[in-house]
Structure 1
Amino acid sequence: MPESTVDAPDGPIDAVLEVPSGSGPWPGVVVVHDALGLSRDIRAIVRRIADRGYVTLAPDLYSRGGMVRCVTRTFRELVRRDGRSVDDLNAAREMLLARPDCDGAVAVVGFCMGGGFALVMAPKGFDVAVPFYGLLPRHLDEALDGACPIVASFGARDPILRGAGPKLSTALERLDVPQDVVTYPGVGHSFANQFPVGPAAPLLRVVGMGYGAEQSEDAWRRVFAFLDAHLPSPPAEPGGLPPKAPGD
Structure 2
Amino acid sequence: MAAVQISTGGSTIPAYLATPLPTVSGPGPWPGVVVVHDVFGLSDDIRSIADRFATAGYLAVVPDLYSRGGAVRCVRSVMRDLRQARGRAFDDVDAAREFLQDRADCTGKVGVAGFCLGGGFAIVGATRGFDASAPYYGQLPTDPSILDEACPVVASFGAKDPGLRGAASELAAELARRDIPHDVKEYPDAGHGFANRLPLGPFNALARVVGFGYHHDSSEDAWKRVLTFFAEHLRSGDHPA
TM-score interval for Structure 1 and Structure 2 normalised by the shorter chain: over 0.9
Aligned to 2:118: 114
* 1:167–1:125 Cα change, 3 Å: same
Cα separation, 1, equivalents of 2:214 and 2:93: 27
User: What pairs up with 1:70-85 in 2 under 5 angstroms?
Assistant: 70-85=74-89
Cα contact 1:17–1:55 (8 A) shared by 2: yes
Structure 2: gaps spanning 5 or more residues: none
Q: Does residue 86 of structure 1 match 2:90?
A: yes
Correspondent of 2:216 among 213, 218, 226: 213
* 1:99–1:57 Cα change, 3 Å: same
Q: Match of 2:164, SS?
A: coil
Q: Match of 1:231, SS?
A: helix
Moved more, 195-204 or 177-186: 195-204
Aligned to 2:179: 176
Q: Does residue 166 of structure 1 match 2:135?
A: no
Cα separation, 2, equivalents of 1:4 and 1:113: 22
Cα separation, 1, equivalents of 2:70 and 2:58: 28
Cα separation, 2, equivalents of 1:117 and 1:31: 10
Correspondent of 1:139 among 136, 143, 154: 143
Aligned to 2:153: 150
Aligned to 1:224: 227
Q: Does residue 39 of structure 1 match 2:43?
A: yes
Q: Match of 2:130, SS?
A: coil
Structure 1: gaps spanning 5 or more residues: 236-248
Aligned to 1:194: 197
Moved more, 163-172 or 223-232: 223-232
Q: Deviation at 1:6?
A: 0.5
Cα separation, 2, equivalents of 1:234 and 1:210: 38
Aligned to 2:65: 61
Aligned to 1:239: none
Q: TM-score, normalised by structure 2?
A: 0.95
Q: Deviation at 1:115?
A: 0.3
Q: TM-score, normalised by structure 1?
A: 0.92
Q: Deviation at 1:233?
A: 3.0
C-alpha distance after superposition, 1:115-134 (max 9, x if no partner): 00001110110000100000
Cα separation, 2, equivalents of 1:90 and 1:233: 22
Aligned to 2:16: 16
Cα separation, 1, equivalents of 2:47 and 2:237: 23
Cα separation, 1, equivalents of 2:175 and 2:5: 34
Cα separation, 1, equivalents of 2:67 and 2:41: 9
Q: Deviation at 1:10?
A: 4.3
Letter in 2 for 1:113: L
Q: Deviation at 1:25?
A: 0.6
Q: Deviation at 1:179?
A: 0.2
Cα contact 1:123–1:147 (8 A) shared by 2: yes
Q: Deviation at 1:168?
A: 0.2
Q: Deviation at 1:197?
A: 1.2
Cα separation, 2, equivalents of 1:199 and 1:137: 33
Alignment RMSD:
1.1
Cα separation, 2, equivalents of 1:25 and 1:173: 33
Runs of 4+ in 1 over 6 A off after TM superposition: none
Aligned to 2:4: 4
Cα separation, 2, equivalents of 1:136 and 1:221: 23
Cα contact 1:227–1:234 (8 A) shared by 2: no
Q: Deviation at 1:62?
A: 0.6
Q: Match of 2:120, SS?
A: helix
Q: Deviation at 1:184?
A: 0.1
C-alpha distance after superposition, 1:171-212 (max 9, x if no partner): 000011000000000111000000111221111000000100
